């Protein structure tokens, strides 16, 4: 029952999951007998707190902080922190809910959680970001722990922010705990974590497309966003011989027929925090479309013809009309790097069209999976090589693809990876909940 209009993203995510696990619930009445749905949609704990900090002018600023500890049936709560002006209770709740199934799908021992703040890092100085992170952790530290809740990064939270958060945590508790993932490699971070979500999405795409006798090599790809996930999706695509031809940021879209020059994007976005428009200064043959010139009913990037599309920016960035344009233009596969980038109507179009469609909770799980590998290294005081972690990531992505594909087939929905991923994830969590009694 939808009781709060302010939770639209959360309801959207719940509806999608409930719809697709219907065949499982029908054939296994015990999930209803144990009130699994009623328990699953209620977070185990939600924390909201004030985050006061001083800006560079000595003025007091106040933001809202959130941490949702959604479900711990399979392990400690695990999920990122998002710092973005759009963050609210519904967004954190939808992300936390999705995280439960994503984490379950990895086959690893991690529960679901998520957090963040409506703090807008844009235009803030390094000192302001540090003071904000320190204030955020001054409340968060009492709720987290290496076997309780282990946050990671997400939009607006990269290695720099994780560093400030970790420094403050350590200062308060006086312990060098593996309490955050995405740490710097000098102080407990795992190799491959930075690349993991993007690389993982491409590994997933490769397994999914190979099953359809489609080779990624030489194919033209659209990759939205130009942040962490988008950059490492493009990097792995290029390594496998594919050609990313477009990427974007919140201000506009770059289309470069000869292939995006990733070094330029990294220079603008990783080394600096520049607008993508500046790409044109080095590549005058590329095309730039500012957001004001986008079609009314969608994003420019999805209107270009390509073989594969990787939405890697944010939620609800692919509209119904965008999905229709992708299908009409001959796209063969859509692989979500972001969380819930397709609206419900767009997902329906993709499923009806029968092009290959990988939902984010399956295809972007490489990040959280590698975070769990970071936790394992921290707990055993080991450090694995890049190759070792990358190999494990490939194995996990292959497992996620196969588990999703097989669950879809088992319930008569061959090729429907949305149904497959939801059922495979749900079943693991639900069975663990039943075995742990009414808690």
For ligand NDP, what does the binding mask look like between residues 120 and 159, x meaning CB under 6 A? Answer: ---------------------------------xxxx---
CB of 24 to ligand NDP, least distance (A): 25
Distance between CA atoms of residues 315 and 318, nearest Å? 8
Contact 182, 195 (CB under 8 A): no
Q: Does 12 bind ligand NDP (CB under 6 A)?
A: no
Indicate the residue among 27 and 86 with the shorter CB distance to ligand NDP: 86
Contact 292, 253 (CB under 8 A): no
Q: Does 118 bind ligand NDP (CB under 6 A)?
A: no
User: Which of residues 113, 115, 189, 225 is near ligand NDP by CB under 6 A?
Assistant: 225
User: Which of residues 103, 314, 377, 422 is near ligand NDP by CB under 6 A?
Assistant: 314
Give the residue among 314, 343, 318 at the shortest CA–CA distance from 331: 318
Q: Scan for tokens 């069209």, then name that residue.
A: 353
Q: Does 421 bind ligand NDP (CB under 6 A)?
A: no
Q: Tell whether 102 is in a known binding site.
A: yes
Q: Does 8 bind ligand NDP (CB under 6 A)?
A: no
Binding segment toward ligand NDP, per CB under 6 A, in 33-41, 169-177, 226-234, 394-402: 226-234
Contact 312, 335 (CB under 8 A): no
Binding segment toward ligand NDP, per CB under 6 A, in 45-53, 67-75, 129-137, 307-315: 307-315
Instruction: Report the length, in residues, of the chain.
Output: 439
HEC secondary structure over 138-156: HHHHHHCECCCEEEECECC
* Site for ligand NDP, residues 242 to 301, rule: CB under 6 A: 248-251
Distance between CA atoms of residues 345 and 23, nearest Å? 21
Q: Tell whether 197 is in a known binding site.
A: yes
Q: Tell whether 371 is in a known binding site.
A: yes
Q: Tell whether 78 is in a known binding site.
A: yes
Active site residues: 114
DSSP 269: I
Q: Does 163 bind ligand NDP (CB under 6 A)?
A: no
User: Which of residues 105, 243, 245, 313 is near ligand NDP by CB under 6 A?
Assistant: 313
Question: Which are the contacts of 182, defined by CB distance < 8 A and separation ≥ 6?
Answer: 152, 153, 157, 158, 159, 162, 189, 193, 194, 371, 374
Query: And the tokens for 90?
Result: 């519904």
Q: Does 359 bind ligand NDP (CB under 6 A)?
A: no
Indicate the residue among 128 and 317 with the shorter CB distance to ligand NDP: 317
Residue 310 pairs in a beta bridge with 223
Indicate the residue among 106 and 378 with the shorter CB distance to ligand NDP: 106
Strand ordering across the sheet containing 243-248: 287-290, 252-255, 243-248, 220-223, 308-310, 333-335, 356-358
Angle ∠(229,234,236) on CA atoms, nearest 5? 95
Q: Does 226 bind ligand NDP (CB under 6 A)?
A: yes
Q: Scan for tokens 């204030």, then name that residue.
A: 135
Indicate the residue among 218 and 290 with the shorter CB distance to ligand NDP: 290
Number of residues that bind ligand NDP (CB under 6 A): 25
Compute CA distances 112 → 93, 288, 413, whole Å. 11, 39, 26
CB of 262 to ligand NDP, least distance (A): 14
DSSP 248: E
Q: Does 205 bind ligand NDP (CB under 6 A)?
A: no
Q: Does 224 bind ligand NDP (CB under 6 A)?
A: yes
Q: Is 425 exposed, middle or buried (0-12, 13-18, 19+ CB in 10 A)?
A: buried
For ligand NDP, what does the binding mask look like between residues 319 and 348, x meaning CB under 6 A? Answer: ------------------xxx---------
Binding segment toward ligand NDP, per CB under 6 A, in 20-28, 127-135, 222-230, 278-286: 222-230
Q: Tell whether 127 is in a known binding site.
A: no
Q: Tell whether 269 is in a known binding site.
A: no
Contact 159, 180 (CB under 8 A): no
Distance between CA atoms of residues 152 and 181, nearest Å? 5
Q: Does 364 bind ligand NDP (CB under 6 A)?
A: yes
| Pairing assessment for the beta strands 220-223 and 111-117 based on DSSP bridges | unpaired
Residues near ligand NDP, by CB under 6 A: 153-156, 197, 224-230, 248-251, 312-314, 317, 337-339, 364, 367
Annotated binding-site ranges for NAD(+): 197, 228
């Amino acid at each position: 029952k939808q009781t709060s209009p302010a939770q639209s993203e959360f309801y959207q995510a719940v509806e999608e999951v409930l719809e697709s696990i219907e065949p499982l619930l029908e054939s296994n009445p015990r999930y209803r007998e144990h009130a699994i749905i009623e328990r699953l949609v209620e977070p185990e704990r939600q924390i909201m707190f004030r985050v006061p900090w001083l800006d560079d002018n000595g003025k007091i600023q106040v933001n809202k902080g959130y941490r949702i500890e959604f479900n711990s049936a399979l392990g400690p709560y695990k999920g990122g922190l998002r710092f973005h002006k759009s963050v609210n209770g519904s967004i954190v709740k939808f992300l936390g809910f999705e995280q439960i199934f994503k984490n379950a799908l990895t086959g690893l021992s991690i529960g679901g959680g998520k957090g963040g703040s409506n703090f807008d890092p844009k235009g803030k100085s390094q000192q302001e970001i540090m003071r904000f992170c320190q204030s955020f952790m001054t409340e968060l530290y009492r709720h987290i722990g290496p076997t309780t809740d282990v946050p990671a990064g997400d939009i607006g939270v990269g290695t720099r922010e994780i560093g400030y958060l970790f420094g403050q945590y350590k200062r308060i508790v006086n312990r060098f705990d593996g309490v955050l993932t995405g740490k710097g490699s000098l102080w407990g971070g795992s190799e491959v974590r930075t690349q993991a979500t993007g690389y993982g999405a491409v590994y997933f795409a490769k397994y999914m497309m190979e099953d359809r006798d489609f080779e990624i090599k030489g194919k033209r790809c659209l990759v939205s966003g130009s942040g962490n996930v988008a950059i490492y999706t493009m990097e792995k695509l290029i390594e496998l011989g594919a050609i990313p031809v477009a990427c974007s940021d919140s201000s506009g879209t770059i289309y470069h027929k000869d292939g995006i020059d990733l070094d330029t994007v990294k220079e603008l976005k990783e080394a600096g925090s520049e607008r993508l428009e500046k790409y044109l200064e080095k590549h005058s043959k590329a095309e730039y479309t500012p957001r004001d010139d986008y079609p009314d009913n969608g994003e420019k990037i999805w209107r270009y013809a390509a073989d594969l599309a990787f939405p890697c920016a944010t939620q609800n960035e692919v509209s119904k009309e965008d999905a229709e344009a992708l299908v009409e233009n001959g796209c063969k596969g859509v692989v979500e790097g972001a969380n819930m980038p397709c609206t419900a109507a767009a997902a329906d179009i993709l499923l009806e069209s029968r092009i290959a469609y990988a939902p984010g909770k399956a295809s972007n799980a490489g990040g959280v999976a590698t975070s769990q590998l970071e936790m394992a290294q921290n707990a055993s005081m080991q450090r694995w090589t890049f190759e070792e972690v990358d190999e494990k990531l490939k194995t996990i992505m292959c497992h996620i693809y196969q588990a999703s594909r097989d669950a879809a087939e088992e319930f008569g929905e061959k090729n429907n990876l949305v149904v497959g991923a939801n059922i495979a994830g749900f079943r693991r969590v639900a069975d663990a909940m039943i075995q742990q009694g009414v808690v």
